[in-house]
Chain A
Amino acid sequence: MTDFARGLRESFARLGEPPGRVRRLGLLRQAAFARFAELGLPTVKDEQWKYTSLAPLAQIPFARPEAEATSSPVTLGQLDVLAGGPPGDGAVRLVFLDGRYKPELSSRAESAGGAFIGSLAAAMAERPELVDRELARHADDQHDALTALNTAFVEDGAFIYLPAGAELQGPIHLLFLSTAPAKPALSQPRNLILLGERSRATVVETYAGLSDEVYFTNAVTEVVLGESSHLDHYKLQEEGARAFHVALTQVRHGRHSRFTSHSVALGAALARNEVRTLLASEGSECTLNGLYMATGKQHLDNRTLIDHQGPRCTSRELYKGVLDGQSRGVFSGRVLVRHDAQKTDASQTNKNLLLSDEALVDTKPQLEIFADDVKCAHGAAVGQLDEDALFYLRSRGIGQDAAKSLLTYAFASEMVNLIPLAPLRTRVRELVTSRLPEWEKLKEVA
């Protein structure tokens, strides 16, 4: 057992009985913790973690936060800022502090017609059969140490279930906030999103720090899409400056289902976001969009797997990175087209903008094709600001810093503008532009 696992043994022992009535949960946790202890934290010798070292994290004695904050550390006004505005008509907001659901901060619409939108802990009590059917059946806790760690500590998170034909009016916004109480805290939200046939939902996951202390978020979201269902999924990572953040979104597609993902990574000292979609049967579509912007000594790792198993599926992927200071970015995207995935149409693009000589990016697009009748394309680019464009702007009277900001914004704005959900687009634009020098002179350009 590694020191890191040993350090968490006490937290694990104090977990207590699993909530609700999902009988296999106790054993599941035991097995996952044992598996994690066996695997240990991944190292750079592990091919999947070649570019991202968790060594700084291994030294920190993380513990599951136990003490409940006595007074709420966050106001509704702050929540509105994080969400890009107050919840609109039909919108649902679920707030989690250090991994635990806070009903007093949340606004939850009545779940009609058998739908359930609430906390996983509540769902384990109220809808144990649904939770039992899908929880920890999709994300891989046998090979992925951090998924195993998350499964070992499953207790709360969001649970979303829509029955056949249900269409939600507004988005469901999940806010995962870290207050970083006394000890270095490890929060591990576990989310489960189940969409029945022909149902449709928009889900936003925001991860934000309310503190500049060291903490670690290790989140797992499992998504199961029924036939012809449609999920728009957003993940906005704006963790605190000293935080560690690792997250996995694992998606299983039913026939003719659609999944659109927008991943925006801006915060944390070290973060890794992984999206895995399994296009298991025919006629499905997935779109993975991503934007990562790092500065200072930030390290932002983005990993995707698009697994084409069924025929006639389409996947589109576009990730863009902006790296400044001494930061480091990673894009590692794998598109796998299996033997039976005929008529696959896949494209993958990664573009990076390096703003400083000391910034670095590793990009590794991978296309593996085992079917013969497919249309696939991929590409990656790493560049600097275009000198010609910079001179053009300056020759028109725009100062050097403002010109750089304008061109950086122009690069990133493609991803911002791909976000159809207005409040989130506003929030992301705010966060992106707040990093650009002299932006106040350029505001009207955006």
Chain B
Amino acid sequence: MTRTEPMLRIKDLHAKVEGKEILRGIDLEVGAGEAHAIMGPNGSGKSTLAQVLAGRETFEVTKGEVLYQGKNLLALSPEERAVAGIFMAFQYPVEIPGVGNLYFLRTALNALRKRRGEEELDAMDFLALAKEKMKLVAMDQSFTGRSVNEGFSGGEKKRNEIFQMAVLDPKLAILDETDSGLDIDALRTVANGVNGLRRKDRAMIVITHYQRLLEYIVPDRVHVISNGRIVKSGGRELALELEQKGYAQFEAASRPGRAGGEAAR
């Protein structure tokens, strides 16, 4: 059997912000249909990785490469990445007063469709699509009339992210601490929504601090990130091990200036 090119291949990725190196040599491969969890303590670089993949210009990539569907992802602007099928669910979704939630999403969807050479959806067709996808995360009609994330509770914001993901239909979804700030009911709703979006042709990267989320979104692979490197990779059981033993064992091994932890593949 020939080995197919993974959807995403990250090689020796280094990135810094304000002169400080945050990512110090990330290697990761994610194939279509797979869900990878990236776990790590605060400040380990996991959210930076998510933002670098989505194209945040605050972070400067100093070394390494990212191939998405075999092409250089780092050459694309954030909007071009969205067109190419990348979606990041934000850890802190931004409130945009004055811009209607649904109108915004329709503008985004049509921008994507247009640049992909597809026909734009009119208001009626879009509304039908939106209503269907809202069910996935149990959003009610009141969401539709409000401004983007304005006055949303923490749980509503995260549900809104997954709703956007459902409508924009990405190939690679990156969930950046989608579980943070959620109570158990909200977590379950959001996780159910995500699970409903798992597909053979879609890859997911689930970034989290806690094992809890992974009880609901069961990953194919788990990676531990510490001090800007992936220090251990394994199956689902690695998450449980982390839950019991904590991150301390990895942190010591991966401090800058020492020999890095064994970057497992």
A contact set with B: CB distance below 8 Å? 386-389, 391-400, 402-403, 406-407, 409-411, 413-414, 441-442, 444-445
Nearest Cβ on chain A to B73's Cβ, whole angstroms: 13
Chain B contacts of A388 at CB under 8 A?
92, 94
In the complex, the answer to whether A396 meets B94 with C-beta atoms within 8 Å is no
Question: Is the pair B82, A397 in contact by a Cβ cutoff of 8 Å?
Answer: yes
Number of interface residues of B (CB under 8 A): 36
Report whether B98 and A411 are in contact in the complex, using a CB–CB cutoff of 8 Å.
Answer: yes
On chain A, the residues within 8 Å of B99 by CB distance are: 406, 409-410, 445
Question: In whole angstroms, what is the CA distance A123 to B93 when docked?
Answer: 60
Q: Using Cβ atoms and an 8 Å threshold, which residues of chain B touch A441?
A: 107, 111
Q: Which residues of A contact B58 (CB under 8 A)?
A: 387
B54 within 8 A of A: yes
Chain B: minimal CB distance from A293 (Å) = 15
Are the CB atoms of A389 and B98 closer together than 8 Å? no
- Can you list 20 pairs linking A and B with CB atoms under 8 Å apart? A387-B58, A388-B92, A391-B54, A391-B56, A393-B104, A394-B78, A394-B79, A394-B82, A396-B82, A397-B111, A398-B108, A407-B96, A410-B98, A411-B98, A413-B98, A414-B97, A414-B98, A444-B103, A445-B100, A445-B107
Give per-residue flags for B170-207: 1 if the beta carbon is below 8 A from chain A beta carbons, else 0: 00000000000000000000000000000000000000
B162 contacts chain A at the CB level, 8 A cutoff: no
Which residues from chain B contact A396 at a C-beta distance below 8 Å?
A: 82, 104-105, 108, 111, 164, 168
- Inter-chain residue pair count (beta carbon < 8 A): 86
CA distance A379 to B106 in the complex (A): 36
B106/A444 in contact, CB under 8 A: yes
Residues in chain B within 8 A of chain A (CB atoms): 54-58, 77-79, 81-83, 87-88, 90, 92-94, 96-100, 103-109, 111-112, 115, 123, 147, 164, 168
Chain A residues contacting B112 (CB-CB under 8 Å) are: 397
A445 surroundings in chain B (CB, below 8 A): 99-100, 103-104, 107
B168/A397 in contact, CB under 8 A? yes
- Not counting A389-B96, A395-B88, A396-B104, a sample of 15 additional A-B residue pairs whose C-beta atoms are within 8 angstroms of each other reads A386-B94, A391-B56, A393-B96, A395-B54, A396-B82, A398-B79, A398-B111, A400-B77, A400-B79, A402-B111, A409-B98, A411-B98, A444-B106, A445-B99, A445-B104
Q: Which of A403, A407, A444 contacts B123 (CB 8 A)?
A: A444
CB-based nearest A residue for B98: A410
**One of A394, A395, A410, A442 near B96 (C-beta < 8 A):** A410
Q: What is the distance, in angstroms, from B28's C-beta to the closest C-beta of chain A?
A: 20
